[in-house]
Chains A and B, each alone.
Chain A
């Protein structure tokens, strides 16, 4: 009967390891990809990228039609103010929690003016209901600003607009 007991222990442990792997994998994958994207840049620094091409696409199934600006954020101690210009083409700003969930997205059609200002805060921030305040469910995460490139000739103008996106760390909570 000893082998039945051993088999039962193996089965239980296998299920536990299986669940741990499935649970931890998204965060670990995100961490690995963000390390490549981040390079030498500091947390809360915005990076204005180029169009993805083969060999320069660290994220699986990335879109090669979108010009992206990215930022690894940490709002545990200070909120972040994000300011960006909105072009005439498709544009969106989105935030992801550390478990990869997309908790906020706004696109150009939902921004009344040609500029957007957002305040990214953690859950302890007292004025979470205010317009333009985005509450991150996790202290750390990732931001992406996407801009659609439909023709190469429009690239220069969109790069200028892309460069106007700024992330600033404000005083503590």
Chain B
């Protein structure tokens, strides 16, 4: 490139592409890099606060704008099952858990675009207070593309699913021991 204008434009364009792509790649991997891990769940307790660093703030803007401070709500995200395999609508899952240390909680499934998955039942979530318990005080939710008996959460046809376990007005144990508190298991059943 003999023309200096072409050379400068080329350098700026290449730098712009590298800069934006590297930033987007960083945000894409951010969920998995969320600091605290508990089984398949990831959480960052500084979400929504002024202590949030610029990367976390940008990551939250991509996957969950308007998160609340952790005194009000804590968001545990899962993108893998309990064996570490990615959550996908090609497989059926059994999500099993007990009581959680919060005023109320819910579990919601999202597609690869982080939005609610369309389904005829308009069912996207289960509210903890209405889930029936078994004799061991455990509840079960079935995440599957095919209708299931019981608490069925339709999974659509996405390659990557995300679960969001929201704990509103969480108890002290959630802040102090987010990595060890009992959280639901995500058990993979059959895959197609």
Instruction: Enumerate chain A interface residues (CB-CB to B < 8 A).
Output: 6, 9-10, 13-23, 25-26, 29-30, 33, 52-55, 57, 59-65, 90, 92, 94, 96, 99-103, 105, 107, 109, 142, 144, 148, 150-151
Contacts and interface: CB of A to CB of B under 8 A. Distances in A.
Contacts of B20: 17-18, 21
Contacts of B146: none
B181 interface: no
A61 B11 contact: no
B69 interface: yes
11 contacts: A9-B15, A10-B18, A16-B19, A18-B23, A25-B58, A53-B124, A59-B64, A59-B65, A64-B108, A148-B127, A151-B130
Interface string B118-149: 11001011010110000000000000000000
Nearest to A13: B15
Nearest to B124: A64
Interface residues of B, number: 57
Contacts of B11: 6, 9-10, 13
Nearest to A103: B50
B62 interface: yes
B contacts with A: majority SS: mixed
A109 B71 CA distance: 13
A102 B116 contact: no
Given A13-B11, A14-B19, A20-B19, A100 B72 contact: no
Interface string B97-129: 000000110101010011111110010110101
Contacts, number: 155
B127 A150 contact: yes
Interface of B: 11-12, 14-16, 18-20, 22-24, 26-27, 48-50, 52, 54-55, 57-58, 60-69, 71-72, 75, 103-104, 106, 108, 110, 113-119, 122, 124-125, 127, 129-130, 162, 164, 166, 168-169
Given A26-B58, A61-B164, A63-B106, A101 B130 contact: no
A32 B49 CA distance: 21
A contacts with B: majority SS: mixed
A29 B62 contact: yes
A14 B18 contact: yes
A102 B66 contact: yes
Contacts of A30: 61, 65
Given A14-B19, A22-B54, A61 B162 contact: yes
Contact of B19 (A21, A33, A65, A102): A21
Contacts of B122: 53-54
A29 B65 contact: yes
A72 to B, nearest CB: 12
Contacts of B72: 92, 94, 105, 107
Contact of A60 (B24, B62, B119, B127): B62
